[in-house]
């Protein structure tokens, strides 16, 4: 049930997401087939779930300096109370009330009674100088003294405050002691403690995933490439509906080719009366095809957006194994031993030998002592007086 600020009451469905901190917006629809409507807290008076939690739009004093995260603890006690308008969860409703507001930094319990300002009881830690000049963590939550002072005109509530624990039930016992012993009605307030303690259940989601994978190997001969991939995913969505454990199985394929020098053919001869020795490479062209199945395990964090969309942030670990489609097969030319044919250093385990390319020719280059220039250029015709002899060397 939703109560608008103008008093209209609407019944339907609310995307709860098991709120922890006050929602900045809610999605509401009057039936499962109706379009969802976006509602801001300022447009509402109250939100009540059937048999569940109760939220009310309130303007409350919240101490923004209250902090419990160790990496953000301030040095010293420095309160910073501001008036905030938000949806607060109602725990007790009556002459004296108990509300709850959860922030990332700390949990706030707010007590209200007639004739008194709202009392903000919040978790609080801060750093203070200790022995030897070291900073120590100090608990600054003096809620018992605050409650005893707040209900100083009610002996039953003051007595209950002295032994109260900082839990919804412990604080509610102090407020109920006032309602039963000192309020005009002399009866306990209506309680939503049981509903507020109810948590949601985890849910499963499965689906299909598709995309692309950028593949890069250790071998400089194999260029990086972008290949399609696809598979299945499954996740366990935790009760808060903002965190999920995620797993995925996908498959991607990649293929390509490269050339590698396997051996040299040495050719010697005389051109224009000058001796010329040429090393001509025997180039092997490789085609490779492989599959990469992989498994991912990690987490996802969902951040809701107003228009029924979500930002998604995830991380985790992945394990994969490269599987080849074809093995080596020499189709032409001399055989290649395992050492020459090994391309596993680039994690491409299997490849297909596609052929042998030979290029013969004479290089026009000057020979100076033992230094030979091996910049090759194909010569279509040789000089008539050239005397050639070729000796293959592998």
Q: What is the pLDDT of residues 53-94, one digit of tens each?
A: 889 999 999 999 999 988 889 988 889 999 999 999 999 999
12 falls within a domain? yes
- In the predicted model, is pLDDT for residue 394 greater than 50? no
296 and 344 both lie in a single domain? yes
359 and 250 both lie in a single domain? yes
Please report the pLDDT score of residue 60 as a whole number.
95
- In the predicted model, is pLDDT for residue 309 greater than 70? no
Higher pLDDT, 298 or 302: 298
Residue where one domain finishes, among candidates 162, 197, 232:
197
Q: In this predicted model, what pLDDT tens digit does every residue of 167-190 receive, in sequence order? A: 999 999 999 999 999 999 999 999
- In the predicted model, is pLDDT for residue 48 greater than 80? yes
Axis crossing angle, helix 155-162 with helix 143-150, rounded to the nearest 10: 180
124 falls within a domain? yes
232 and 246 both lie in a single domain? yes
221 and 192 both lie in a single domain? no
139 and 262 both lie in a single domain? no
Q: In this predicted model, what pLDDT tens digit does every residue of 208-218 receive, in sequence order? A: 999 988 877 77
189 and 215 both lie in a single domain? no
Please report the pLDDT score of residue 339 as a whole number.
42
153 and 237 both lie in a single domain? no
Q: Mean of the pLDDT values across residues 278-296?
A: 79
Q: Mean of the pLDDT values across residues 353-367?
A: 28
Q: What is the 3-state secondary structure (H, E, C) of the chain?
A: CEEECCCCEECCEECCCCCCCCCCCEEEECCCCCCCEEECHHHEEEEECCCCCEEEEEEEEEECCCCCCHHHCCECCCCCEEEEEEEEEEEEECCEEEEEEECCCCEEEEEEECCCCCEEEECCEEEEECHHHCEEEEECCCHHHHHHHHCCCCHHHHHHHHCCCCCHHHHHHHHHHHHHHCCCCCCCCEECHHHHHCCCCCEEEEEEEEEEEEECCCCCCCCCEEEEEEEEEEEEECCCCCEEEEEEEEEEEEEEEEEEEEEEEEEEEEECCEEEEEEEEEEEEEEEEEEEEEEEEEEEEEEEECCCEEEEEEEEEEEECCEECCCCCCCCCCCCCHHHHCCHHHCCCCCEEEEEEECCCCCCCCCECCECCCCCCCCCCCCCCCEEEEEEEC
Q: What percent of the chain has pLDDT over 70?
A: 74
183 and 216 both lie in a single domain? no
Residue where one domain finishes, among candidates 149, 166, 197:
197
222 and 191 both lie in a single domain? no
Q: Mean of the pLDDT values across residues 234-252?
A: 84
233 and 160 both lie in a single domain? no
- In the predicted model, is pLDDT for residue 261 greater than 80? no
290 falls within a domain? yes
Q: Mean of the pLDDT values across residues 326-340?
A: 42
- In the predicted model, is pLDDT for residue 329 greater than 70? no
394 falls within a domain? no
Which structural domain range is residue 232 located in? 203-388
Counting the structural domains of the chain, the total is: 2
- In the predicted model, is pLDDT for residue 112 greater than 90? yes
- In the predicted model, is pLDDT for residue 351 greater than 60? no
- Verdict on whether the full-model pTM lies above 0.85: no
Higher pLDDT, 110 or 253: 110
Average pLDDT score over the chain: 77
Q: Mean of the pLDDT values across residues 22-37?
A: 82
277 falls within a domain? yes
- In the predicted model, is pLDDT for residue 330 greater than 70? no
Please report the pLDDT score of residue 306 as a whole number.
63
149 and 230 both lie in a single domain? no
393 falls within a domain? no
């Amino acid at each position: 049930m939703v109560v608008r600020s103008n008093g209209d009451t609407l019944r339907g469905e609310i995307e709860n997401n098991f709120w922890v901190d006050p929602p900045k917006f809610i999605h509401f629809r009057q039936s499962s087939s109706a379009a969802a409507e976006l509602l801001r807290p300022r447009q509402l008076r109250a939100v009540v779930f059937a048999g569940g939690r109760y939220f009310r739009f309130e303007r409350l004093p919240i101490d923004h300096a209250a902090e419990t995260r160790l990496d953000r603890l301030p040095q010293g006690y420095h309160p910073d109370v501001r008036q905030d308008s938000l949806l607060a969860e109602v725990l007790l409703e009556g002459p004296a009330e108990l509300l709850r507001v959860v922030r990332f930094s700390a949990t706030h319990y707010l007590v209200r009674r007639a004739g008194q300002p709202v009392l903000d009881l919040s978790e609080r830690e801060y750093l203070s100088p200790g022995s030897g000049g070291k900073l120590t963590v100090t608990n600054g939550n003096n809620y018992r003294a605050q409650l005893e002072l707040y209900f100083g005109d009610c002996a039953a509530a003051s007595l209950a405050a002295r032994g109260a624990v900082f839990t919804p039930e412990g604080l509610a016992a102090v407020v109920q002691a006032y309602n039963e012993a000192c309020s005009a009605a002399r009866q306990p307030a209506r309680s939503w403690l049981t509903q507020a303690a109810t948590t949601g259940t985890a849910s499963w989601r499965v689906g299909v995933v598709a995309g692309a994978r950028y593949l890069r190997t250790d071998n400089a001969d194999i260029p990086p490439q972008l290949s399609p991939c696809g598979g299945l995913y499954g996740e366990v969505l935790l009760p808060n509906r903002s965190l999920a454990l995620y797993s995925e199985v996908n498959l991607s394929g990649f293929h390509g080719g490269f050339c590698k020098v396997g051996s040299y053919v040495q050719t010697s001869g005389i051109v224009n009366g000058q001796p010329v020795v040429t090393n001509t490479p025997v180039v092997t062209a490789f085609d490779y095809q492989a599959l990469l199945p992989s498994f991912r395990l990690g987490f996802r964090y969902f951040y809701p957006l107003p228009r029924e969309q979500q930002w998604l942030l995830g991380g985790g670990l992945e394990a994969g194994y490269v599987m080849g489609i074809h093995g080596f097969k020499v189709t032409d030319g001399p055989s290649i031993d395992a050492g020459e044919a090994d391309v596993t250093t680039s994690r491409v385990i299997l490849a297909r030998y596609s052929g042998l390319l030979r290029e013969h020719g004479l290089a026009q280059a000057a020979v100076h002592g033992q230094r030979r220039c091996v910049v090759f250029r194909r010569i279509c015709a040789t000089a008539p007086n050239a005397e050639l002899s070729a000796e293959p060397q592998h």
